[in-house]
Amino acid sequence: MRQHFQGFKTTFMPKPDPDETHEEGAGNAPGETFRFDRKPREVKAYLDRFVIKQEEAKKVLSVAICDHYHHVRLALEGKEQPNYAKQNILLLGPTGVGKTYLIRSLSELVGVPFVKADATKFSETGYVGGDVEDLVRELIRRADGDVERAQYGIIYIDEIDKIATSGSMPGRDVSGRGVQTNLLKLMEETEVPVRSPQDIAGQVQALMDFTQRGKKARSLINTKHILFIVSGAFVGLDKIVSRRMNQATIGFRAKGGPMTTQQLIEQANTRDFIEFGLEPEFIGRLPVRVACEPLSEDDLFSILKNSEGSIVRQYEQSFAAYEVEVEFREEALRRIANLAADEQTGARGLMTVCERVFRDFKYELPSTGLRKLTVTGDLIDSPSATLGKLLEENLRQEVTAAHQLVQAFAREFSAAHSLQIRFTDQAAERLVAIAHQQQRTIHEVCQARFKDFQFGLKLIAQNTGKKEFTIGMEAVEDPERILSEWVVQSYRGALG
């Protein structure tokens, strides 16, 4: 499946520029050939790889994206449809259902610059205009300064419901109407200065470029072919829809039983959005509207197990950077999904749960010799206890391995000098502790402490004929003193 979509991008083919000089406001003719030949089914199949559920949203977005960029392609070929209305999009739905991920995936597929911003950024500042236009300038930065490419990009504005100004919605920002008005200009068609009037450094740089190269850079960018997608949770919109539908009890139909919040949201029309607080002209520029569905526990499980963008892949890569292989059992994925559903923040709950569960594992395991972590349901339920057991077991294994290294040094010594040495368990443990404290290898510690033993023990062997020696705690703590005593005793014939 992955191979089928490789190279699945819109491409921009450079065309020679017959005129090296551009007058201000000129350069509207495209400098690149825009290619887009995808079909809605192909686009949805691509989105299915990354976004779980949201079938209706993926269909609607696939059609809208294909319509928009096919129109862009025709316009650049000189075949623009004069009656075409840009299909800016409004996404509704609670947090964490995949709205941003959908749009980001679309922009990557199409191969155009993508900018995301929160509407609260504008409503909270108390002033409008320049900030809104900075979204367009950000597209240019994302396009590496290529104005031609930027003017076919996608601008995604989240939390658009926060700039509603309805008197029935208390606490709305008074600048919301002004933000909507300024966005209107961008969403339709306008010319935006490539450099902000407040960007003095940018203006000076542009003047220097013109002086040095004799070529004036494009000073304006047209927003006609920039696709605007906005989204929001629109809390309370269901009540407005319910009132309009003349329901005796909010959330219930006259026939067929209760309507869910999701069902009511799906019935929202232009009048409902106006009552919520969006300006008629503003909501009118958003003809494509689709409601995203809340995610159930099963959906969250499917995201973990099947999505190419699953957070499980992220944790596998994070641990792999420390050469720790992670295996997620299905029971663990199910438990993570269950806990994430309790967070009631959609797919974002998956990150919350995983960060809480794996925080200490990511801190501790890279410094151990552990090379595989199996994530089970018990680990998800009791991460601290599981980590403690893992660390204890790892410590035992490290001690065992270290003891084997001490005995390996003894064998190497014996083979090299024809003298048999053996370390007591207490002596081996002490050598392991010293190596850990000094952050040195067992071999380095043993070589440093027993560097003179080959000479001393050979002398003892000559004096007594003894060729087997036991190294105890005293010899580890003070090897020079013990070796000297042994040599003296060998001359006296007292060494046993």
Q: What is the pLDDT of residues 348-404, one digit of tens each?
A: 999 999 999 999 999 999 988 889 999 999 999 999 999 999 998 888 887 888 888
319, with CB counted inside 10 A (0-12, 13-18, 19+), is: buried
Distance, in Å, from the CA atom of 178 to the CA atom of 364, rounded to the nearest integer, reads: 52
Distance, in Å, from the CA atom of 303 to the CA atom of 312, rounded to the nearest integer, reads: 9
Q: Of 195-199, 375-379, 400-404, 491-495, which one has max mean pLDDT?
A: 375-379
Tokens of 101: 């991920």
Mean pLDDT of the chain: 82
Distance, in Å, from the CA atom of 207 to the CA atom of 185, rounded to the nearest integer, reads: 28
Tokens of 316: 């596998």
* 3-state SS class at 287: coil
* 3-state SS class at 363: helix
* Overall pTM surpassing 0.75 (yes/no): no
Q: Could you tell me what percent of the chain has a pLDDT over 70?
A: 82
Tokens of 423: 């370390």
CB distance 420 to 469 below 8 Å: yes
Distance, in Å, from the CA atom of 236 to the CA atom of 251, rounded to the nearest integer, reads: 12
Q: Domains along the chain? A: 3-291 (3.40.50.300), 297-381 (1.10.8.60), 401-492 (no CATH)
CB distance 353 to 336 below 8 Å: yes
* Residue 266 clears pLDDT 50, i.e. is over it: yes
Which of 142, 235, 136, 139 is CA-nearest to residue 186?
Answer: 136
Q: How far is CA 156 from the centre of its chain?
A: 18
Q: How far is CA 321 from the centre of its chain?
A: 16
Distance, in Å, from the CA atom of 32 to the CA atom of 148, rounded to the nearest integer, reads: 7
Q: How confident is the model over 267-285, as pLDDT tens digits?
A: 999 999 999 999 999 999 9
Residue 93 backbone phi and psi in degrees, to 5: 155, 155
Q: How confident is the model over 29-66, as pLDDT tens digits?
A: 334 456 788 899 999 999 999 888 899 999 999 999 99
| Range 121-140 average pLDDT | 69
Q: How confident is the model over 99-120, as pLDDT tens digits?
A: 988 999 998 888 889 999 888 7
| Range 451-458 average pLDDT | 92
CB distance 304 to 336 below 8 Å: yes
> Which residue did the predictor score with more confidence, 178 or 471?
471
Q: How confident is the model over 417-453, as pLDDT tens digits?
A: 999 999 998 999 899 889 888 888 999 999 999 999 9
Q: How far is CA 288 from the centre of its chain?
A: 28
Sorting pLDDT into bands at 50, 70 and 90, what band is 24?
very low
Q: Whose structure tokens read 């006259």?
A: 254
* Residue 222 clears pLDDT 60, i.e. is over it: yes
Tokens of 399: 């001690």
